[in-house]
Structure formats: C-alpha cells, structure tokens
Amino acid sequence: MAGQLAVLCGQILVVGLAGTELSPSERKALASGERGGVVFFRRNIAAGPDGPRSVNALAREVLDASPTDAPPLVAIDQEGGRVVRIGPPALALPPMRRIGDLGDVDFAARLAEAQARELAALGITMSFAPVADIHTRQENPIIGDRAFAETPEGVVRFAGAWARGLARGGVLSCLKHFPGHGDTLVDSHLALPRVERSREDLDRIEIAPFRELAREPAVASMMTAHVVYPALDPGPATLSRAVCTDLLRGSLGFEGVLFSDDLEMKAIQLPVGEAAVLAVAAGCDALLVCSREDLAEEALGALVREAESSAAFRARCEEARARFIAMRRRVPPAPVDAPSLAAVFEASRPIAEELTARLATEGRAQS
C-alpha cells in the first residue's frame, strides 16, 4: 500500500516486531513511512547477558530504516516487578508498590532517571510508564502491585516523580491506563472489564491522578484503558469520544499524545481494523498493534479507507500524526555504540545498591 494516505495513517501505528532482527517486510514498512514506531517485547530480546546488546542493535536497525524527518518511537514496558522486558545487567526494579511504600519521592525520581539513562543508551525513546492506576481492589488480576499506592494522593506523588525522572534521563513517559484500571476484576487482555462507580466516585478516585498530572510537563503521553465505565460511556474507553476527547482534552486539558492500549487485546471485541478507526475517531493519536503484522496491515487499510471517504476523519488523522511526530522529534532514538553499554550499566550500580539496602530495611521494619 502506497500513497500519501498510507503514510498519514501509518505514522500513527506503533507495532510489535516478530524477532530480534527486522524482517524484510518490517523494514519496508518503516522505510515507507507506514509505521510510526515499534514496541519491544521479550521475543525481541536475546536471552541472557547479550539481551541489552541485542536491544541496542535492533533499535539501531529501526532508526536506520525509518525516514530521517520522522524519527520512530521505540517503546518498551519496563516498569519493574512482573512487567519487565530487559533483564540483567539492566537495573532491576521491584514492583512499583514497593517503591511507593518506601515513601521517598526524590528516590523514586532518581530510580526512574537511572533506568531512563540505560533505556536511552539502548536506543529506546519511551517507557510505557508510570502506572497511574490506584490499587483499590485486592482481587484485581492485572494492576495490583503495579500501582504505586491505594490512594489518589499517593499515586499522584509517585507517578509524577517517576515521569519527571524518566524525562531527566532522556526518555518519554506514558501515564496509564486512562481513566483508571485499578478497580477491575477482569484482565483486559482476556475480556472486557467494567468499573461500576458513579461519575462522582470516578472523579474522586480513578480520574483524580490523571487530572492532577494532565498538566505536568514531564508527562508526554497517556494510554487508554480497554475498560467500560457506564457512568462515562456504554463502550470501552479506548473507543469513546466522551472519554478520550470530551473528558481528557476538554475537562482535564491534556495536550500530550494519547495512545490506545493494544488493539489486539480481547477486551476490544471488534476486528482490529474497525477498532483502529473508532479509536482514532474517539481521540487516540497513536495505535498499538503489538503482535501480528497482518493485523497492523488490517488497521492501516481500514484507516486509509476511512480517510479516503471522510474529510473529517482525514483531518483527525492529520491532527494525530502532527501531535505524535512532534513528540517523537523531541526525543529521537540515540543508541550508543555497543562497547559503551557496559559503562552505562555500571553507572547504575550505586543506586541499585541503595535500592537493595532500602528494601531490606523496609522488610525488617515490617517483620
């Protein structure tokens, strides 16, 4: 697929890759401008101590394949705890709840900065973090200890500090999952969750951290939740104009990039192409299609067809692309030479040792 509309729509797609090297078709899609970026998973990282070096090499491939005037987003989920893609010698972090329980926002920001310096050296430009969900339901199967705290105030303090630390280290942040995934009973990878709070309670609890951080300069982006909030809209937030535009842009005043969560997740319950069109129309600026190349092509085709038939939708795509590229140009990939990586990881050793000591002290205090 070629042409201006394919590039327009492709620039708002962020896709997963199949392996540790670009395939010919992945390279071609990047070179043509029909992809705006990539997200790395464990399948893209060599096992063992060569893992970080393989990330560095793949990021360099992605950068070299992409148009020079549209630097790619190179993203990863490297929260800590159970959501980690890159292993040793990268800085090992516990679940964010352990960081929040330490009670030191300055230390949290220093941890995020150290992690960001490692990621930036590898060629990564965005960490899909921090989680701004509130851990309000113990049975929640997907958030739990990924949340910094059980109160809006605690989440605001530590998520804000984490975003500022990432920014100081040269990596873009992404606050997730708007407007709040902490009170769900279902994993949105597997089914569609619901949060049955009143609008007043949503404003007071789930939405509160996002409202407080919407104008934080370090918060470059947010990510939607594939969750239904009946008090806001009868459909999933990712596909809701009431949530993505009226609430986030209108009421909260957020001006950064809005990502959809992965459109392949089962919570969406629609073909990926249809979901892509609805997400952009709702107000998403960048779409995640994290596993299958054929589904990324399906999304692209559906976006192009809608842009061909609707001037209003084409204008929405142009707005999304402009916002997304502007953010990417602020932090283009800058992978260091592979021999320099060891020194980057060595620089994190002091704070890693401090973290170990603080966690041990906290553990003794609680026992």
Output the domain CATH number for residue 84: 3.20.20.300
The kind and range of the H/E element at 158 are helix 152-168
Measure the CA dihedral 70/120/173/115, to 10°.
170
What integer is the mean pLDDT of 197-212? Answer: 97
Residue 30, in any domain of the structure: yes
Question: Under a CB-based contact definition with an 8 Å cutoff, are residues 78 and 127 in contact?
Answer: yes
364 inside domain: no
Per-residue pLDDT of 167-189, as tens digits, reads 999 999 999 999 999 888 888 88
Query: pLDDT digits over 313-364, tens only?
Result: 999 999 999 999 999 999 999 999 999 999 999 999 999 999 999 999 987 7
Residue 321 lies in a domain: yes
pLDDT for residue 142? 85
pLDDT tens by residue, 97-143: 999 999 999 999 999 999 999 999 999 999 999 999 999 988 888 89
The pLDDT assigned to 366 comes to 73
CB 101 within 8 A of CB 147: no
Closest by CA to 254, choosing from 339, 145, 174, is 174
In-domain check, residue 363:
no
Residue ranges making up the domain that contains 122: 4-358
Residue 1 confidence (pLDDT) above 50: no
Per-residue model confidence as pLDDT tens digits over 78-102: 999 999 999 999 999 999 999 999 9
Instruction: Say if 366 falls within a structural domain.
Output: no
In a domain, 365, yes or no: no
Specify the pTM.
0.96
183 is a domain residue: yes
Measure the CA–CA gap between 1 and 7, rounded to whole angstroms: 9
Residues of the chain above pLDDT 70, percent: 99
Question: Hey, which residues are catalytic here?
Answer: 189, 261
Please report whether residue 33 resides in a domain.
yes
Q: CB of 142 within 8 A of CB of 181?
A: yes
The alpha carbons of the chain give a radius of gyration, in whole angstroms, of 19
d(CA 89, CA 86): 9
Domain tally for the chain? Answer: 1
